[in-house]
Amino acid sequence: MGEAIAPWRLVLEKAIKRNKEVTHSKYIQLATVTAQGYPANRTVVFRGFLENTNYLQMVTDKRSQKYEDLKINPVAEVCWYFTKTREQFRIRGTVIIVEEWVNDSNVGQEEIGLYSEARQKAWENLSDNGKEQFFWPTPGKQREKKWDWGDWKSEIINPPANFCLLLLQPLWVDHLQLRGNPQNRYIYSLKEGVWEWQEVNP
Amino acid sequence: MGEAIAPWRLVLEKAIKRNKEVTHSKYIQLATVTAQGYPANRTVVFRGFLENTNYLQMVTDKRSQKYEDLKINPVAEVCWYFTKTREQFRIRGTVIIVEEWVNDSNVGQEEIGLYSEARQKAWENLSDNGKEQFFWPTPGKQREKKWDWGDWKSEIINPPANFCLLLLQPLWVDHLQLRGNPQNRYIYSLKEGVWEWQEVNP
């Protein structure tokens, strides 16, 4: 906590800024590994960095497959491709799942308080459309003829029990710039708490 | 081989057509699993379907990490998000690596001939810029101060030994349409050679 801003973070934030007017530039692809050892890959929304850290925030439903995957195997790689500036960030790391109760032996008491606050904040920052989905029927189950809208009301100020905040703690980042010939590529890795980086062949 | 067009294929081709003018709509995210059991995720270019099949074609360099991943664990999931029509396809399956020699006991003699032809064709269809990269220094290795352009010449008509065609054989497809409230989602799965599908909750 209260960690220094990682060197890749500055480059990533520059890319976010430069692609700001592109709506889909906040959509990232999150890969996990299933219980059966298969890769799984889906688009999620980037919800900003957790304050004073380099952790990427995403949200998910406890009833979703990615929750299941991460519960068993809390590792993920995000692929973030910026269509305007033509550059890609691959961000690999471990994922903390923040639910109503944080059951993670690697997380200390002080962090639990901060993470729970961040979960509350992430809920408040969701649009009404986004919130509503947490009251819908179980994702991936066969759809009933009559859609059950659930009991969502915009007055609900606390996140429901199935609302989870995901915190991706980066360990390795691969930045590829497609512009230029040859292209440019940089790899950052966290070694004993220190970010090292080098320029590599694209 | 010579298999019937899968039901999801028609829907996917409609999406491809509708997003045709969007350059990045051929960019897909390919997730694999590393030897260490981590997910890996990167953007690749969709190179069309293999003729008379539902297999997705991609190309890669034998010196790349994804080749290593797939050699050990030949499973992948593609996430394909269409920014214009706001829909996502997740396509999971097994991957055949087509190199100079196909070392895959699941592939018959007849297929080997067809796959080798497809590899040759994939090479021919690459742009000069795309071809050139296969003559560059090893991807991911520390970059030398002086860039080695390699001995690429546009007269080279046969693919170099490090050029691989990847064939993703889909087993499971998840189609999510974000437009509409509630959203629409369909899951297709291959059961004993037959594609089954159902509408599920988004």
Q: How far apart are CA B92 and CA B47, in angstroms?
A: 17
Q: Which pLDDT tens digit goes with each residue over B78-87?
A: 999 999 999 9
Q: List the single residue in A with minimal CA-CA distance to B174.
A: A140
- pLDDT (average), residues B74-94: 98
Residues 6+ apart with CB under 8 A from A28: A43, A44, A45, A46, A58, A78, A79, A80
Provide the β-strand partners of residue A32.
Answer: A40
Q: How far apart are CA B111 and CA A162, in angstroms?
A: 48
pTM over 0.90: yes
Q: Please provide the average confidence, as pLDDT, over all residues in chain B.
A: 95
Q: How far apart are CA B141 and CA A118, in angstroms?
A: 39
SS (H, E, C) A44-66: EECCCECCCCCCEEEEEECCCHH
Distance in Å, alpha carbon of A187 to nearest chain B alpha carbon: 8
| Whether A200 and B140 lie within 8 Å, measured CB to CB | yes
* Structure ipTM: 0.96
Interface of A with B in 99-128 (CB under 8 A): none
Q: How far apart are CA B140 and CA B126, in angstroms?
A: 22
Q: Which pLDDT tens digit goes with each residue over A5-52?
A: 999 999 999 999 999 999 999 999 999 999 999 999 999 999 999 999
* Residues of chain A positioned with their CB less than 8 A from the CB of B29: 29, 31, 41, 79, 81
Q: Is the pLDDT of residue B1 over 70?
A: no
Confidence at residue B156, expressed as pLDDT on a 0 to 100 scale: 84
Q: List the single residue in A with minimal CA-CA distance to B75.
A: A38
Residues 6+ apart with CB under 8 A from B166: B57, B58, B59, B60, B70, B95, B96, B97, B98
Tens of pLDDT along chain A (202 residues) come to 567 899 999 999 999 999 999 999 999 999 999 999 999 999 999 999 999 999 999 999 999 999 999 999 999 999 999 999 999 999 999 999 999 988 788 888 889 999 999 999 999 999 999 999 999 999 999 999 999 999 999 888 899 999 999 999 999 999 999 998 999 999 999 999 999 999 999 9
Compare CB distances from B38 to A75, A139, A181 and report the shortest one's residue: A75
Confidence at residue B103, expressed as pLDDT on a 0 to 100 scale: 77
CB pairs under 8 A between A and B: 146
**CA distances for A52 relative to A46, A109, B48, B104, angstroms:** 17, 17, 44, 49
| Whether A136 and B79 lie within 8 Å, measured CB to CB | no
Distance in Å, alpha carbon of B123 to nearest chain A alpha carbon: 19
CATH topology of domain A7-98+168-200: Pnp Oxidase; Chain A (2.30.110)
Residue-range domain boundaries for chain B: 7-200
Confidence at residue A2, expressed as pLDDT on a 0 to 100 scale: 61
CATH number for the domain whose boundaries are B7-200: 2.30.110.10
Q: DSSP state, A26?
A: G
Residues 6+ apart with CB under 8 A from A47: A57, A58, A59, A122, A125
Q: List the single residue in A with minimal CA-CA distance to B129.
A: A181
| Whether B147 and A182 lie within 8 Å, measured CB to CB | yes
Confidence at residue A133, expressed as pLDDT on a 0 to 100 scale: 96
Q: How far apart are CA A57 and CA A169, in angstroms?
A: 9
* Residues of chain A positioned with their CB less than 8 A from the CB of B73: 37
Confidence at residue A186, expressed as pLDDT on a 0 to 100 scale: 98
* Residues of chain A positioned with their CB less than 8 A from the CB of B200: 139-143
Compare CB distances from B33 to A37, A187, A199 and report the shortest one's residue: A37
Q: Which pLDDT tens digit goes with each residue over B167-186?
A: 999 999 999 999 989 999 99
